[in-house]
A and B are shown apart, each in its own frame.
Chain A
Amino acid sequence: MYSEKVMDHFTNPRNMGEIENASGVGTVGNARCGDIMRIYLDIDDNQIIRDCKFKTFGCGAAVATSSMATELVKGKTIQEALQVTNKAVMEALDGLPPVKVHCSLLAEEAVHAALWDYAEKNGITIDGLKKPKNDIHEDDPE
């Protein structure tokens, strides 16, 4: 059902864990649907994401998309990280089964939520960043 890449990121998740005193933390999803993702960002003074970690409660695809999302935003500037869409996450994982597409949306939203938290903590606005929804299923395209 899952691609080899998804299985790889599920069994050997990259950047799993917490960052203490993170620059931004975002948690999205809900227990009803069974996926909750939390992304921690460590952002330096030049607005570069020095480190990124995640914790996820969810299925294989939820774990794999969080893992891949952290890989894709690590080392990037905030603006570059904003360009990491759910499609990019899915492509990097060689695709997801149709019923799991919402997991990739959750990963994108979790990164945005962490960036929003960073912006709020620092009293700045990030161009192009909208207030994240914590429940992506509200407008699930399925």
Chain B
Amino acid sequence: MKGFRIDDRKDQERKKHMIYLDNAATTKCAPEAVEAMLPYLGEKYGNASSIYALGSESRKAVSNARRVIAESLNCTPQEIYFTTGGSEADNWALIATAEANEKKGKHIITTAIEHHAILHTCDYLAGRGFEITYLPVNEDGIISLEELKKAIRPDTILISVMTANNEIGSIQPIKEVGEIAKEHNILFHTDAVQAYGHIPIDVEDMHIDLLSASGHKLNGPKGVGFLYIRNTVKIGSFIHGGAQERGRRAGTENVPGIVGFGAAAELAMKNMEANQKKETELRDYLIGQLEANFPNSKLNGSRSNRLPNNVNFSFPFIEGESLLIMLDMKGICASSGSACTSGSLDPSHVLLAIGLRHEMAHGSLRLTLSHENTKEEMDTVVRELKVIVDRLQAMSPLYEDFIKNNPDGKFDWRTYHVQ
């Protein structure tokens, strides 16, 4: 017990000074969202499908959230279908579109850098006779519209291109992709999980037919997301059962979750411009400081065409998980694309797709900011990183070999590889 208490105290101490830089993984639920949800976790527990007053109170709350979200995307409330999150929305969009259009064709175009919710769903469809084209990306992590046009075939039924990448923050030319899809009469889905509530999205202007989003990436609660389905798109249900969500997504509505999501979306839209400005400034400050302090490091992703809150660097000779554990000891929460953190033996498919060798991809560090972070926190992170990177380099046989073979210490990530 004694040991437990000490651990507890250490934990509390760590949390007090914690610097949270993993907002692409999840965000803190906004107090406004928590407050909006509380009544629906307590006294307002009615089922939104029930006829009596307690039920209609829930129904109204869900409608209100749906309206707020529809306004944020420039669509109608009837086009928003709540789900359990981004993964369900992605699965639904791809599988239901594939099934509904199977007679027209069995070809789907997506990108090499999609989230696994898309990639693994594509694997599933490939196993059922669909053909998938994975568009490559350039060094900045952006697709080529020419390649997209070339990939289109008479039997192409769907183009799915993420709005912004979760690892390197690269923002895709969504409007142009939408125009190309429309021109060819192909459905266009975008996984906007990282982008929604952070950068402006207009489904009309961008010709988006289907869009996935998730509540907890914009200071809303976990366990709730939505799929936008343009009213002209005919796709079937994914979860079968009751008549909820206009008969297209069965299951009793997650009323508190939906209400919290609505509140978070409202807040995100209201503060988008201010947050974007603040985060971009902080992001560029952190990038500048990291480049100045780590001359061998490499910024992954586009310098300008990236999410306001995303910073992703590779540090040669060192491995990401070690880096994350040491940062955690200093109360800094971050993530990496190394194999050990991806739970497989291969590092991030996104980093490999932008041309990094395995040795550079393993040493990646993703820092994703929020509007609550400060410049002082960025300085602390750079200072702590300096100590940690030095220490891990001193421990690394790769650094030892590099110094022996390159006495001038000049490093080029393009040519560097382990013998």
Contacts and interface: CB of A to CB of B under 8 A. Distances in A.
B127 interface: no
4 residue pairs, one from A and one from B, having the closest CB atoms:
A59-B321, A59-B340, A34-B362, A38-B397
Interface stretch (B41-49, B232-240, B273-281, B341-349): B341-349
Nearest to A7: B325
Contacts of B357: 31
Contacts of B400: 18, 38, 55
Contacts of A38: 397, 400
A10 B317 CA distance: 17
B374 interface: no
B329 interface: yes
A60 interface: yes
B18 interface: no
B359 A31 contact: yes
Interface in B400-419: 400, 417-418
Contact of B396 (A7, A30, A55, A137): A55
Given A31-B418, A137-B345, A37 B397 contact: yes
B345 A58 contact: no
B395 interface: yes
Residue from B319, B398, B417, B418 whose CB has the most chain A CB atoms within 10 Å: B319
Chain A, interface SS category: mixed
Contact of B319 (A7, A16, A57, A137): A57
Contacts of A99: 343
Interface of A: 7, 10-11, 13, 16, 18, 27, 30-38, 55-63, 99-100, 137
A8 to B, nearest CB: 12
Contacts of A137: 345
B345 A33 contact: yes
B338 interface: yes
B358 A16 contact: no
Given A11-B329, A13-B395, A59 B338 contact: yes
Interface string B230-264: 00000000000000000000000000000000000
B210 interface: no
Interface of B: 317-322, 325, 329, 338-340, 343, 345-347, 357-359, 362, 394-398, 400, 417-418
A81 B398 CA distance: 26
B418 A60 contact: no
A60 B325 contact: yes
Contacts of B320: 34
A30 B418 CA distance: 8
Contact of A36 (B322, B339, B398): B398
The winner among B325, B338, B340, B343 for most chain A CB atoms within 10 A is: B340
Given A34-B338, A36-B418, A56-B395, 9 more contacts: A31-B359, A34-B345, A38-B400, A55-B395, A57-B319, A58-B319, A59-B319, A59-B322, A59-B340
Contacts of B395: 13, 16, 55-57, 63
Contact of A32 (B317, B319, B358, B398): B358
Given A11-B329, A37-B397, A57-B397, A31 B358 contact: yes
A55 B398 CA distance: 9
A7 B322 CA distance: 11
B396 A57 contact: yes
16 contacts: A10-B322, A11-B329, A30-B418, A31-B417, A31-B418, A34-B320, A36-B397, A37-B397, A57-B317, A57-B319, A57-B396, A57-B397, A58-B322, A59-B319, A59-B321, A100-B340
A99 B338 CA distance: 14
A10 to B, nearest CB: 7
Contacts of B359: 31
